[in-house]
Amino acid sequence: MIQKQINQKAWFMVLPVFLLVAFSAVIPLMTVVNYSFQDTFGSNKFFWVGMDWFRDLMHSERFHDAFLRQIAFSSIILAIEIPLGIAIALAMPKKGWGVPVCLISMSLPLLIPWNVVGTIWQIFGRVDIGLLGHTLASLGIDYNYTQDPIAAWLTIIAMDVWHWTSLVVLLSYAGLCSIPDAYYQAAKIDGASRISVFRYIQLPKMQGVLLIAVLLRFMDSFMIYTEPFVITGGGPGNSTTFMSIDLVKMAIGQFDLGPAAAMSLVYFLIILLLSWVFYTVMSNVGEESSKGGA
Partner 1 sequence: MAHITLKDIAHSYTGASDNPDDYALKKLNLTWRDGGAYALLGPSGCGKTTLLNIISGLLTPTKGQVLFNDEDVTRLPTEQRNIAQIFQFPVIYDTMTVFQNLAFPLKNRGRTQVEIEPRVIELAKMLGLENDLYTKAQHLTADAKQKISLGRGLIRQSVNAILFDEPLTVIDPQLKWELRSQLKYLHKQFGFTMIYVTHDQTEALTFADEVIVMYEGEIVQVGTPEALFERPEHTFVGYFIGSPGMNITPCELKGDRIFIEGHEITLETHYKEQLASAKIEVGIRPEYLSLAQPQDKGLPVNIIKIDDIGRHKIARVALNDSVFHVVMPEMSGMTGDKASLVFDTAHTNIYVNDHLIAGEKP
- Among 188, 254, 255, 281, the residue binding partner 1 under the rule CB under 8 A is 188
Residue 294 engages partner 1 in binding (rule: CB under 8 A): yes
At position 250, the amino acid (one-letter code) is M
Which residue's CB is nearer to partner 1, number 100 or number 191?
191
- Residue 236: asked if its preceding bond is cis (omega within 30°), the reply is yes
Residue 146 CA to residue 230 CA, distance in Å, equals 12
Smallest distance, Å, CB 208 to partner 1?
Answer: 11
Q: What is the DSSP string of 206-268?
A: HHHHHHHHHHHHHHHHHT--HHHHHHTTT-STTTT--HHHHHHIIIIIS--HHHHHHHHHHHH
Smallest distance, Å, CB 189 to partner 1?
Answer: 5
- As beta bridge partners, residue 39 has 47
Residue 249 CA to residue 66 CA, distance in Å, equals 12
- Among 24, 75, 105, 185, the residue binding partner 1 under the rule CB under 8 A is 185
Residue 134 engages partner 1 in binding (rule: CB under 8 A): no
Residue 105 engages partner 1 in binding (rule: CB under 8 A): no
Residue 284 engages partner 1 in binding (rule: CB under 8 A): no
What residues between 203 and 222 interact with partner 1 by CB under 8 A? Answer: 204-205
- Among 157, 201, 212, 216, the residue binding partner 1 under the rule CB under 8 A is 201
Residue 225 CA to residue 214 CA, distance in Å, equals 19
- Among 192, 215, 219, 248, the residue binding partner 1 under the rule CB under 8 A is 192
Which residue's CB is nearer to partner 1, number 122 or number 202?
202
Residue 222 CA to residue 225 CA, distance in Å, equals 9
Cα radius of gyration (the chain): 25
Binding letters toward partner 1, positions 165-184, x by CB under 8 A: ---------------x-xx-
- Largest CA-CA distance found in the chain, in angstroms, rounded: 91
Residue 236 engages partner 1 in binding (rule: CB under 8 A): no
Residue 44 engages partner 1 in binding (rule: CB under 8 A): no
Of 170, 163, 167, 166, nearest to 115 by C-alpha is 163
Residue 189 engages partner 1 in binding (rule: CB under 8 A): yes
Residues at the interface with partner 1 (CB under 8 A): 180, 182-183, 185-186, 188-193, 196, 200-201, 204-205, 286-287, 289-290, 293-294
